């Protein structure tokens, strides 16, 4: 099946620094990628939708200046958490949709801000 | 309107038994209903999905039952195994108006005991 990778899988950073998370579709082209946030034992909350070559669409309540999303190619999207704070600590999951409409999820990135 | 309600929150089943998870939705524009399985520290993986033009879909031990008039759908796991212990999310998506975004249920933690 289709594979979506994320890097890094786990990152610890200090408060005030920025962290970049990469999401790649390895064996298909994804015109649309999604970024989710998941707190322990909770559901996935959509943060933003990104289409290749255009600006991301953010969900209500998500700060676009804090969570920068770039979708530069059909196989790569990045999420940068700027000036991270402890409350940004969470599990971030990307997802890529193929041309048939099926959506595949990455393995997630655990972010801990100290 | 966009919510997907999922129950139960947690479920314990004996090995070999049937696990049943239910979801209900309000938005009649939803036209795609996937189920995802998520293990701790991993991203969700697509298990099985159904469209509203069929009432049932079976793949191996996993079956989706869909009741369009009641706006409900359920996941049945036959012959449940300890390896099925995970969190299961139902979801729904609308091609129109919803921006083709998945709306997730709140999740069900399944534990299959020996």
In this predicted model, what pLDDT tens digit does every residue of B35-89 receive, in sequence order? 999 999 999 999 999 999 999 999 999 999 999 999 999 999 999 999 999 999 9
- Residue A12, beta-bridge partner list: A112
Rounded to 5 degrees, φ, ψ at A102 are -75, 140
Give the nearest partner residue to A106 out of B34, B43, B102, using CB atoms. B43
A106 touches chain B (CB under 8 A): yes
Give the pLDDT confidence score for residue A98 in this predicted structure: 87
Size of interface A-B (CB pairs under 8 A): 47
Q: Which residue carries 């801000």 as its tokens?
A: A113
- The pLDDT confidence band at residue B30, using thresholds 50, 70 and 90, is very high
DSSP secondary structure letter of residue A114: -
Alpha helices by DSSP H, listed for chain B, are: none
Note whether B94 and B5 are within 8 A (CB): no
Of A44, A23, A77, whose CA–CA distance to B37 is shortest?
A44
Residues 6+ apart with CB under 8 A from A36: A44, A45, A46, A47, A92, A93, A94, A95
> Distance, in angstroms, between B46 CA and closest chain A CA?
7
Summary mean pLDDT of chain B = 93
Taking chain A (114 residues) in consecutive chunks of 10 residues, what is each chunk's mean pLDDT? Answer: 91 97 94 93 93 88 94 92 96 92 92 97
Cis check for the bond before B8: say yes or no (omega within 30 of 0).
Answer: yes
DSSP secondary structure letter of residue B84: G
A112 touches chain B (CB under 8 A): no
* Dist CA B51 CA A29 (whole Å): 24
* Dist CA A14 CA A22 (whole Å): 19
Give the pLDDT confidence score for residue B98 in this predicted structure: 53
- Which residue from A minimizes the CA distance to B107? A43
Note whether B87 and A42 are within 8 A (CB): no
What is the token pair recorded at B59? 């793949």
User: To the nearest whole percent, how much of chain B has pLDDT over 90?
Assistant: 88
Give the pLDDT confidence score for residue B97 in this predicted structure: 56
Note whether A31 and A97 are within 8 A (CB): yes
Give the pLDDT confidence score for residue B80 in this predicted structure: 98
Give the pLDDT confidence score for residue B2 in this predicted structure: 66
Residues 6+ apart with CB under 8 A from A107: A4, A5, A6, A9, B42, B43
Pair type for strands B108-113 and B10-14: parallel
Give the pLDDT confidence score for residue B111 in this predicted structure: 98
Q: Which residue carries 């966009």 as its tokens?
A: B2
Give the pLDDT confidence score for residue A93 in this predicted structure: 97
């Amino acid at each position: 099946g289709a594979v979506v990778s994320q890097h890094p899988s786990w990152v610890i950073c200090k408060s005030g620094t920025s962290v970049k998370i990469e999401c790649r579709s390895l064996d298909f082209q994804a015109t649309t990628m999604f970024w989710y946030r998941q707190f322990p034992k909770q559901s996935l909350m959509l943060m933003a939708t990104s289409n290749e070559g255009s600006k991301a669409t953010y969900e209500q309540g998500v700060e676009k200046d804090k969570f920068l999303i770039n979708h530069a190619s059909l196989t790569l999207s990045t999420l940068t958490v700027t000036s991270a704070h402890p409350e940004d600590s969470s599990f971030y999951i990307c997802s890529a949709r193929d041309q048939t409409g099926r959506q595949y999820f990455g393995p997630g990135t655990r972010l801990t801000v100290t | 309107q966009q919510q997907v309600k999922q129950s139960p929150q947690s479920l314990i089943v004996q090995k070999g038994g049937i696990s049943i998870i239910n979801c209900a939705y309000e938005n009649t524009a939803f036209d795609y209903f996937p189920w995802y399985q998520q293990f701790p520290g991993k991203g969700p993986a697509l298990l099985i999905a159904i469209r509203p033009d069929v009432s049932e879909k079976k793949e191996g031990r996993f079956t989706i039952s869909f009741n369009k008039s009641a706006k409900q759908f359920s996941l049945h796991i036959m012959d449940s195994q300890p390896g099925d212990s995970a969190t299961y999310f139902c979801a729904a998506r609308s091609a129109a108006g919803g921006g083709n975004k998945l709306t997730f249920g709140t999740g069900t933690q399944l534990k299959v005991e020996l």
